[in-house]
Amino acid sequence: MSIVGGNVEIKDFIIDFTSPNGNFNKTSYDGSLHLKVSKVDNSGKPIYEEEGVYYSDIIDLKDKFKKFDKVVATFTNSGVNQPSSFTIETRSGASAYTLGEWVAVAPTTNEIKSTINRFIQVRFIFKSGYEYEDEVLSDFNSENDALLFNGNTSLIDTTNGLSLKRNHKIKVAKTFDWQGIGTLGTYVFKESEWRRFDSFRLFHESEV
């Protein structure tokens, strides 16, 4: 509120979120101010930054004001079971270079509590209500990590991370009633386990 000719005049000052002098720290503006999306979860739900801040441009009020009123803001909570929150703080100074400490607005009315001065700045602090943590089961840098597959390790390789095994050695069963020349070994390949064979190589028992 400013005093003009003995009368009290109320002036509104709109915070321009598109101003190049505003500072976005893990926040963004696309018609509304909110935390920046960092990733999405397995269901496609956006995961926002845990905390972010927006600093407004320093506003030159120019006129002599009797008092500050309040910051008018509409807050939409996107969290259901874990509600998000935000805090509004202001700081003021006789010049743009001598702004004081940040002071939170009144919790229910958003009334500005900073000292009356010509220059004022507003900041919005957002905290996400949806927490998401990546759980690392294993980085697969040792053979023991393969035990996570319940013992089914014949098709995986953990030599350098996790990958499908390309080369397989299979010990075949010797057929003792073989009457022909040499030795016969047999192994049955199941279609459910093997889709394609690129090549075969036979090893003598001492090489395996």
| Tens-binned pLDDT, residue by residue, of the chain (208 aa) | 444 445 656 777 788 888 888 899 999 998 888 889 888 877 777 888 889 999 999 999 887 777 788 888 877 766 544 567 889 999 999 999 999 999 999 988 889 999 889 999 999 999 887 666 655 555 555 656 556 555 556 666 766 766 777 777 777 777 777 777 877 777 777 766 666 677 777 766 654 4
Q: What is the Cα 144 distance to its own chain's centre?
A: 31
Q: Is residue 96 part of a domain?
A: yes
CA 68 – CA 126 distance, rounded (Å): 23
CA distances from 77 to 71, 85, 139 (A): 18, 7, 37
Q: Is residue 53 part of a domain?
A: yes
Beta bridge partners of 126: 52, 86
Q: Is residue 174 part of a domain?
A: no
Q: Is residue 200 part of a domain?
A: no
CA 21 – CA 185 distance, rounded (Å): 79
In one-letter notation, the amino acid at residue 97 is Y
- Number of neighbours of residue 189 by Cβ within 10 angstroms: 9
Q: Is residue 45 part of a domain?
A: yes
What total number of domains does the chain contain?
1
Q: Is residue 141 part of a domain?
A: no
Q: Which domain, by its residues, includes 119? A: 2-127
CA 154 – CA 4 distance, rounded (Å): 86
CA 200 – CA 185 distance, rounded (Å): 14
Q: What is the Cα 187 distance to its own chain's centre?
A: 50
Q: Is residue 143 part of a domain?
A: no
Q: Is residue 62 part of a domain?
A: yes
CA 158 – CA 164 distance, rounded (Å): 9
